[in-house]
């Protein structure tokens, strides 16, 4: 005997029923609200792409050096280094037109640099052109510079380095560089610069170069206008004694760069890790203040909420401008990375990629990427 169908036994609601439409609406609304919340967070953490008619410049001490030659190339190729992946994601999110990378291992074939270019392209941001001057780090001098009674090793190199090329300088661009306007100042001897602070004995002075890593000037053509660039990574004014050799070398690198700015055609941009804060930390801080006051330069003062939130109570400089998160209380968080356009360029948005701690902070190391948008007048 068949059982009679009870319409109350199973509740079937047609998709067109008002309650089903309401549920679908609420699900879609919640999904849209989550997407909007994520978009707001990303807008707060990452800058918007450069607007049409502006040039975005960035400087980043990426700390991508390794302990031996070839290891950086290997790590980029393998694609398993979380540090490298974080650096690539960060750069791709900022979308610079020109990028100065410090602490990037150099090799004669530029294999690591080209592999990094390819990896960045895979992240969705292509920078087709590169310049990588041979750095002074790790280059043997044949002299006992560190005074340990032996010749050879990192302390007797032009600049401290486990191998020639460690912690180099890499310039990437979406615009081609001009060979005729490119000049490498890395081999200038320290003792020969005007008003040198070098007190090295003659046997060291005759070989010791000024540039800690490298100092390079070049240009790109943008909107039919040559934009000149000057980039360098100065000696840290620490790791010495009362003789202050590293501090004096750092001061002379910055002073020499200031002299080059006197001669540079405009418009131009300085992108550099000077390893010197104008107010705080070790070094000849007044030299940095003098550079910032150069009559051909302007300081857009790119800033961040994260720097302000991590302020050191004992520091005198504005914390929002800091570019590195070093251990507290010493050395603390100084401003060491700079983008300084010539006064004839118009400055727009800029910043230091250092989100407040409450927000995602994908940093590859303790240094923070600095970016600045400029345009022609």
**Can you give the residue ranges of every domain in the chain?**
53-375
pLDDT per 10-residue tile (average), the chain, 377 residues? 42 53 68 53 50 88 97 97 95 98 98 98 98 98 94 95 97 97 98 97 97 98 96 95 96 98 97 98 97 98 95 93 89 95 98 76 79 97
CATH superfamily of 53-375: Endonuclease/exonuclease/phosphatase (3.60.10.10)
**pTM of the model as a whole:** 0.86
Residue 101's contacts (CB-CB under 8 Å, 6 or more residues apart) are 60, 61, 62, 64, 169, 170, 171, 172
Residue (of 234, 205, 38, 43) closest to 136 by Cα position: 234
- pLDDT at position 52 is 59
- pLDDT at position 284 is 98
At 225, list the tokens.
Answer: 């206008």
- pLDDT at position 258 is 98
* Terminal C-alpha separation, the chain: 93
- pLDDT at position 283 is 96
- pLDDT at position 8 is 42
- pLDDT at position 330 is 80
- pLDDT at position 14 is 52
- pLDDT at position 40 is 43
- pLDDT at position 365 is 83
- pLDDT at position 12 is 42
In this structure, are residues 275 and 234 in contact, taking their beta carbons and an 8 Å threshold?
yes
At 201, list the tokens.
Answer: 């004995």
Q: How far apart are CA 149 and CA 143, in angstroms?
A: 10
CA distances from 226 to 10, 161, 173, 207, 348 (A): 77, 35, 14, 35, 19
Neighbours of 130 (CB within 10 A): 17
CA 157 to chain centre: 25
- pLDDT at position 4 is 46
């Amino acid at each position: 005997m068949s059982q009679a169908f009870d319409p109350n036994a199973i509740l079937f609601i047609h998709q067109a029923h008002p309650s089903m439409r309401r549920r679908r609406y609420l699900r879609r609304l919640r999904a849209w609200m989550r997407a909007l919340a994520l978009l707001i967070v990303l807008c707060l953490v990452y800058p918007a792409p450069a607007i049409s008619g502006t040039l975005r410049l960035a400087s980043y001490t990426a700390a991508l050096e390794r302990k031996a030659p070839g290891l950086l190339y290997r790590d980029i190729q393998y694609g398993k280094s979380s540090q490298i992946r974080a650096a690539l994601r960060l750069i791709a999110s900022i979308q610079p037109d020109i990028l100065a990378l410090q602490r990037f291992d150099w090799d004669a074939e530029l294999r690591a640099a080209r592999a990094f270019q390819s990896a960045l392209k895979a992240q969705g941001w292509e920078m087709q052109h590169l310049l990588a001057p041979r750095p002074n780090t790790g280059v043997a001098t044949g002299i006992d510079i560190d005074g340990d009674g032996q010749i050879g090793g990192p302390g007797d190199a032009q600049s401290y380095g486990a191998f020639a090329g460690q912690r180099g300088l890499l310039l990437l661009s979406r615009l081609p560089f001009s060979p005729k306007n490119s000049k490498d100042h890395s081999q200038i001897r320290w003792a020969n610069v005007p008003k040198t602070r070098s007190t090295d004995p003659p046997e060291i002075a005759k070989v010791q170069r000024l540039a800690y890593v490298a100092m390079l000037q070049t240009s790109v053509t943008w909107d039919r206008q040559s934009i000149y660039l000057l980039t360098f990574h100065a000696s840290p004014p620490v790791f010495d004694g009362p003789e202050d050799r590293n501090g004096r070398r750092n001061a002379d690198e910055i002073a020499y760069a200031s002299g080059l700015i006197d001669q540079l055609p405009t418009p131009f941009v300085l992108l550099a890790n000077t390893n010197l804060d104008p107010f705080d930390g070790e070094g000849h801080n007044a030299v940095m203040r003098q550079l910032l006051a150069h009559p051909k330069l302007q300081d857009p003062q790119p800033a961040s909420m994260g720097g302000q939130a991590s302020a050191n109570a004992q520091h005198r400089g504005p914390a929002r401008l800091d570019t590195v998160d070093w251990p507290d209380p010493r050395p603390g968080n100084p401003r060491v990375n700079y983008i300084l356009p010539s006064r004839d360029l118009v400055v727009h948005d800029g910043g230091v990629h250092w989100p407040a701690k409450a927000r995602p902070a994908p940093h590859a190391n303790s240094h923070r990427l600095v970016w600045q948008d400029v345009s022609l007048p």
